[in-house]
Amino acid sequence: MLYVDFTFAQLTVDADIRPRFEYRHGFGNLFPDNAEPGAFVEQRTRLNINYVIDKVQLGISVQDVSVWGDTPQIARSDDNNSFSLFQAWVTYDFNENWSTKLGRQVLSYDDQRILGGLDWAQQGRSHDAALIRYKKESFKSDFGFAFNQQNISSEGNGFFLQSAFTYKSMQFAHLHKDWPKLKASLLFLNTGFQKTKQENGQTVEDGVNYVQTLGTFLTYPIKNTNLRGSFYYQFGENTSDVNISAYQLLVEADYKPNKTLFGLGLEILSGTDQSGSSENNSFFPLYGTNHKFNGYMDYFYVGNHANNVGLNDIYGKVVFKTSETSTLLLKGHYFQANADLLNNEDKYLGTEVDVVYTLKPIKNVILNIGYSHLFASESMSLVKNGRPNENTNNWAWARLMFRPTLFKTKAE
């Protein structure tokens, strides 16, 4: 018989089930000629377990992310690799100021521009890392460390996992301070990427090159207005031994005089001229939740647009409260290349319009319905592998999120 004493412990079990339908006709890239649009339903099914006792907290999260129909109905086994361990971590509080967190975990800070949970993607993003944490009153800091290997090896430390921006090692420091109004963060991130070479017909390790990202994120409220800004500078060497010198700048403001919110913003991400340069001037936001920036159609920095001409994004939004349980978001983006295009072509890339309706009919249930349309210029073809810009590029989606607490105890 299994007996668990919850007198001095707390156990919480919750679920996250979110099927999402998508119609893609130019999502992420210009729609080509003589092609059919894509349509599918993708679903996340996640189970989260959280256990707290005394100075120890344990978190485990498992999930299945799959497309409806990708597994035969009477299959004996599921071989589509849709099941995974999303998080598995433990924290220990040394005292009221110092603690540690070890294991697979989400790293999410500030507006999630550099480090984020990527919750829009059904699979999310997590890191195998160790944290040392300090907090006292209005100041807190996290120091993170990670060292990745593909398998157990008694000889060599080559890391040959070929995936976008997958690091071999990573260290970061995130410092945050709250004043009566101003909130400020400082981030230093050092990521090491494995270099490889061919030797006797085999891929072998050839050292590690490091990229550093240093910057700050600020927020400041003034009456009905919230001001936000960030600046990051990126430097180091990429795996081709090319020097990196790049930057990101964001300024935005939200104004909410009553039930309607108005927002304006500008983000600049430096780029490299298409005619070539002796160094890489293309900023990349690495491990952020990039879907929330630069348009929902994911034309920029969502697994793409690396080492490219950068981006100047001027945007505005309005959020209407349509009822006590629903809102309507209207957002527009004006895109320009930051660096020069070939033959000095016009830097204007296009305009995107995003519309999202959100309804919260009952507790733990959220319904989202969205539509986006991209009006691409001729210059967009120059940064999208020469695809034509004349075709319609739009995207429609609907998502239902059900996130209930299944079980919860409370320590006495």
Q: Is residue 12 part of a domain?
A: no
User: For 17-63, how does the pLDDT look when each residue is reduced to its tens digit (9 = 90+)?
Assistant: 999 999 999 999 999 999 999 999 999 999 999 999 999 999 999 99
Question: What is the number of domains present in the chain?
Answer: 1
The CATH number of the domain holding residue 390 is: 2.40.160.100
| CB-based contacts of 162, cutoff 8 Å, min separation 6 | none
Q: Is residue 60 part of a domain?
A: no
Angle at 127 between CA 308 and CA 137, to 5 degrees: 105
Contact 53, 8 (CB under 8 A): yes
Residue carrying the six token digits 């001027």: 314
User: For 375-386, how does the pLDDT look when each residue is reduced to its tens digit (9 = 90+)?
Assistant: 999 999 999 988
Q: Is residue 215 part of a domain?
A: yes
Q: Is residue 91 part of a domain?
A: no
User: For 67-102, how does the pLDDT look when each residue is reduced to its tens digit (9 = 90+)?
Assistant: 999 888 877 665 677 899 999 999 999 999 999 999
Q: Is residue 22 part of a domain?
A: no
Q: How far apart are CA 1 and CA 42, in angstroms?
A: 40
Structure tokens at 394: 């739009």
Structure tokens at 17: 């089930």
User: Domain residues for 282?
Assistant: 107-408
DSSP 31: P
Q: How far apart are CA 176 and CA 106, in angstroms?
A: 18
Q: Is residue 293 part of a domain?
A: yes
Question: Which amino acid does the sequence have at 21?
Answer: F
pLDDT at 6 over 60: no
User: For 181-224, how does the pLDDT look when each residue is reduced to its tens digit (9 = 90+)?
Assistant: 999 999 999 999 998 888 888 888 888 999 999 999 999 999 99
Q: How far apart are CA 215 and CA 115, in angstroms?
A: 12
Q: Is residue 50 part of a domain?
A: no
Evaluate if pTM is beyond 0.85.
Answer: yes
pLDDT at 298 over 90: yes
**pLDDT given at position 2:** 46
Q: Is residue 88 part of a domain?
A: no
Angle at 287 between CA 84 and CA 129, to 5 degrees: 60
CA-wise closest residue to 280 among 248, 299, 307, 314: 307
